[in-house]
Amino acid sequence: MIVWINGAFGSGKTTLVTELTRRLPGALVYDPEHVGFLLRRIVEVPDGDFQNIPLWRKQVASLARGLVEEYGRPVLAPMTVVRRQYADEIFDALDRAGVPVHHFFLDVPARVLEQRLDDRVVVPGDPERDEAARRWGKARIAECVAAVGSLREDTVVLDGELPTRELAGLVLERTGLAGAVV
């Protein structure tokens, strides 16, 4: 099973996955962003967004499927994917492969996202790259907030302002993994 935690940059995806990992120590954490980082080293990235590369979407689904099949453990994937077409490509490929996906979206107001992005450090020791990452996230706030209206029908939208422990409990309950918690 894949537990995909979606939401805007700064919505708390990684924080939630960290809490889920604490409760499910056997789970695998798979960040699809790393597939994009690898592709960025090999090919040109249109508009600077590796999600625009069809191969990224194919490889994200393929690796997620492989992790589930090879290791038989829950896979936790924190990744912003707000373009419906891209989410459909990834999740439909996993569905065709028989891999269950539980898709959650952390809904957080724009003003809160902006403040969270202002407060976080993404690239310690490199203020220039850190500011570039902050600008990247902020430039996508409107698109991410608007995405709530066009998410897949099977998406569970969660109030991203709830405490992380509470969010983790909701995810575990909805996925049926609550009984697997240590």
CATH of the domain at 74: 3.40.50.300
Whether 13 shows a pLDDT value over 80: the answer reads yes
pLDDT for 179 equals 83
Number of C-beta neighbours around residue 125 at 10 A? 7
Domain count within the chain = 1
For the chain, what is the mean pLDDT?
95
User: What confidence tier does 140 reach under pLDDT thresholds 50, 70, 90?
Assistant: very high
pLDDT for 147 equals 93
pLDDT for 91 equals 98
- Residue predicted with more confidence, 28 or 129: 28
Q: Which two tokens stand for residue 85?
A: 């077409």
Whether 23 shows a pLDDT value over 70: the answer reads yes
Q: In terms of residue numbers, what domain contains 115?
A: 2-180
pLDDT for 182 equals 67
Strand 28-29 versus strand 156-159 pairing type: unpaired
Mean of the pLDDT values across residues 18-44?
96
User: What confidence tier does 47 reach under pLDDT thresholds 50, 70, 90?
Assistant: confident
Contact 105, 155 (CB under 8 A): yes
CA distance 82 to 103: 12
Whether 38 shows a pLDDT value over 80: the answer reads yes
> Which helix or strand (DSSP H or E) is residue 107 part of?
strand 101-107
Q: Which two tokens stand for residue 64?
A: 């997620």
Mean of the pLDDT values across residues 18-22?
97
